[in-house]
């Protein structure tokens, strides 16, 4: 099984494309689920029906399923090396160019190279989706992923002086710290991951686990496969400065950071202010987290 969504390292020109999104007013559309991951309907041209796109906070660019790119007749425009911050050997991948990308009629970033998409074979593509997009597609907006109400919103970016924000890292990822018991570890919020909380294996030592570690499956990242183990845990967990009570399974693997997925965030709101490179997590009122 695949518990970790690939995060694709695109070339510098693509990441540096920061022309304003052509947003006017507010977009407020259904936030759907694709195999447990957040998704939204997008259009890429006027002649084909909308595509289901996973909105992945861990994605730095666009990826598209090979069969979809071929069906749409998208032109190849180059090749890159595709890798993951979770390790593994980078692999070459073709780039295709989308004619446009719109959510409810609002255009995403159309700067040079911003509509280039990595064409991904079936085995490497996230299940249940045709396209993967992320925050970089709307670089001058406030993006709201309201997992509690199942809504996707684009708004005008708020005043930069507004408080209670966390900076995104140099690649635009939602990086923070996770505190579990007395242990601390760097973490990413990753809506391209369908599960709960995956942790570096070494973090299991010293935690008050409620059951022994046992194999629960394998995770595939770019260039390698990882064995995953699970154990039950009950206790306090702090994420992005918000304290939760966690009760359920934790998963451990040979990864350098913690990855927090959509199942752990189902009753929360994630706000991403791409204009000011910051984000915030609005937790549920109960402030509970876990798999049961």
Q: What is the mean pLDDT of the chain?
A: 86
Among 58, 195, 22, 69, smallest CA distance to 134 is for 58
What are the pLDDT digits (tens) for 208-264? 899 999 999 887 766 668 899 999 999 899 999 888 888 888 999 999 999 999 998
Beta carbons within 10 angstroms of residue 45's beta carbon: 13
Tell me how crowded residue 254 is: count the other CB atoms within 10 A of its CB: 14
| Per-residue model confidence as pLDDT tens digits over 181-193 | 888 999 999 999 9
Residue whose pair of structure tokens reads 């970089």 in the numeric block: 136
Neighbours of 225 (CB within 10 A): 11
CATH number, domain 12-156: 2.40.70.10
Confidence of residue 87 (pLDDT cuts 50, 70, 90): low
pLDDT of residue 117 exceeding 90, the answer is yes
CATH number of 171-289: 2.40.70.10
- Show the beta-strand stretches assigned E in 83-204: 91-97, 102-103, 106-107, 116-120, 131-133, 141-146, 151-156, 166-167, 175-180, 183-189, 197-200
Output the pLDDT for position 85.
57
pLDDT digits (tens, 9 = 90+) for 18-33: 444 444 468 999 999 9
pLDDT exceeds 80 at position 160: no
Confidence of residue 201 (pLDDT cuts 50, 70, 90): very high
Q: Enumerate the domain spans of the chain.
A: 12-156, 171-289
CA distances from 252 to 188, 200, 213 (A): 15, 6, 9
DSSP run (H or E) holding 14: helix 12-15
Fold match between 12-156 and 171-289?
yes
Quick check: 278 pLDDT over 70? yes
- Read off the pLDDT band of 291 (50, 70, 90): low
Higher pLDDT, 167 or 124: 167
For residue 91, the tally of other CB atoms under 10 A from its CB is: 14
Question: CA 76 → CA 115, 123, 202, distances in Å?
Answer: 12, 20, 42
**E runs forming strands in 31-90:** 32-34, 37-42, 51-55, 62-65, 76-82
| pLDDT at site 223 | 61
pLDDT at 78: 95
Q: Please give the average per-residue pLDDT across 267-280, as a whole number.
A: 94
Tokens coding 73: 């007749």
Question: What pLDDT was estimated at residue 171?
Answer: 86
Residue in the block written with tokens 């494309």: 17
> pTM above 0.85?
yes
Encoded tokens for 120: 């991904």
Which pLDDT does position 284 carry in this prediction? Answer: 81
Q: Look up tokens 């309201």; give the residue.
A: 146
The pLDDT score that the predictor gives to residue 49 is 95
* Cβ partners under 8 Å of residue 123, min gap 6: none
pLDDT digits (tens, 9 = 90+) for 40-60: 999 999 899 999 999 999 998
Task: Encode 167-204: b = buried (16+ Cβ within 10 Å), e = exposed.
Answer: ebeeebbbbbebebeebeeebbbbbbbbbbbbbbbebb
**Residue 7 reports pLDDT greater than 70:** no
């Amino acid at each position: 099984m695949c518990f970790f969504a690939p995060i694709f390292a695109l070339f510098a020109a693509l990441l540096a494309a920061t022309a304003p999104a052509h947003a006017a007013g507010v977009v407020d559309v259904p936030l759907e689920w694709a195999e447990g991951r957040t998704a939204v309907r997008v259009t890429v041209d006027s002649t084909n029906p909308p595509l289901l796109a996973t909105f992945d906070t861990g994605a730095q660019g666009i990826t598209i399923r090979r069969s979809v790119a071929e069906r749409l007749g998208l032109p190849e425009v180059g090749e890159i090396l595709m890798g993951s911050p979770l390790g593994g050997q980078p692999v070459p991948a073709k780039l295709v160019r989308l004619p446009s990308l719109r959510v409810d009629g609002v255009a995403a970033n159309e700067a040079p190279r911003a509509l280039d998409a990595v064409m991904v074979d079936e085995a490497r593509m996230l299940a249940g989706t045709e396209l993967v997009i992320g925050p970089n597609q709307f670089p001058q907006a406030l993006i709201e992923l309201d997992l509690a109400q199942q809504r996707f919103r684009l708004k005008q970016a708020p005043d930069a002086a507004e408080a209670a924000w966390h900076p995104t890292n140099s690649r635009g990822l939602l990086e923070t710290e996770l505190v579990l018991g007395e242990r601390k570890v760097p973490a990413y919020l990753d809506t391209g991951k369908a599960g709960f909380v995956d942790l570096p294996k070494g973090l299991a030592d010293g935690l008050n686990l409620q059951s022994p570690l046992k194999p629960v499956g394998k995770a595939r990242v770019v260039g390698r496969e990882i064995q995953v183990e699970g154990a039950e845990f009950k206790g306090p967990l702090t994420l992005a400065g918000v304290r939760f009570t966690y009760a359920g399974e934790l998963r451990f693997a040979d990864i350098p950071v913690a990855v927090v997925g959509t199942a752990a965030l189902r009753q929360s709101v994630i706000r991403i202010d791409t204009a000011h490179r910051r984000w915030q997590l609005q937790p549920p009122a109960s402030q509970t987290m876990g798999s049961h």
